[in-house]
Amino acid sequence: MELVTPEIGLVFWTTVSFLVLFFLLAKFAWKPIMGAIDDRERFIEDSLRKAEAAKDEMARLTNENEVLLKQARVERDLILHEAKKVKDQIIGDAKDAAHTEGARMIELARVEINNQKAIAMADVKNQVASLSLEIAEKVLKQQFADQAKQDELVSQLLKEVKL
């Protein structure tokens, strides 16, 4: 029975001592310790969140870079394409110009040839005319000599003449 009967003295001292311990530890130990642990946990959580944010930011930047790169590539392709087009056009234009020039020169040549030909023809005609005149002179001379022969000569000459 004695074993399970609380003694007033010990109850008193336990109460006083425990309360003193409680206030001492609460003030000088638990408060700073819990505060420090909470602070550190908050700091860790914060750091993790920041790391996560940095990772996201990094991913975003990488993404952006890629997009930029893609855009640049597209733009480059476009520029190259355009340049090619311009080049082709220039070549085409040059060809056209050359063609036109060639055609014009050929035309000029033809006109010149025709002119020359006309001049030559005129010359030939003149010669034919003078030849004819000569022939006619000769025929006339012959005719004056022998009528029959003259006729024959004229016809013979005429036959010989080939224009």
Partner 1 sequence: MYKSSILKLKIFTLLRICAVFLTLNAFSLPVFSQETLKEGVEKKFEPSEVILEHIADSHSFHILGNTSVPLPVILYTDKGFEVFSAARFEHGKADYVGKYYTYRLINDKVNIVGANNTLLASATVLKLNSSLIDFSITRNVISMWMSILFLVIIFIAVSSAYKKRQGQAPKGLQSFMEPIILFVRDDIARPNIGYKYRRFMPLLLTIFFFIWINNLIGLVPFFPGGSNLTGNIAVTFVLALITLILVNLNGNKHYWKHIFVPADVPVWIWPLWWVIELVGIISRPFALMIRLFANITAGHIIVLSLISLIFVFKSLYIAPVSVAFVVFMDVLELLVAALQAFIFTLLTALFIGSAIEEAHH
93-121: string of b/e by CB count within 10 Å (b at 16+)? eeeeeeeeeeeeeeeeeeeeeeeeeeeee
Q: Is 26 in the site for partner 1 (CB under 8 A)?
A: yes
Q: Closest distance between partner 1 and the C-beta of residue 18, in Å? A: 6
Using CA atoms, how far apart are residues 136 and 141, in angstroms rounded to an integer?
A: 8
15 binds partner 1 (CB under 8 A): yes
* Least spacing, CB of residue 23 vs partner 1, in Å: 9
User: Under rule CB under 8 A, how many of the chain's residues touch partner 1?
Assistant: 33
Please list every residue from 42 through 71 that binds partner 1, using CB under 8 A.
43
Check if the beta carbon of residue 143 is closer than 8 Å to that of residue 154: yes
> Which residues sit at the interface with partner 1, rule CB under 8 A?
2-15, 17-18, 20-22, 24-26, 28-34, 36-37, 40, 43
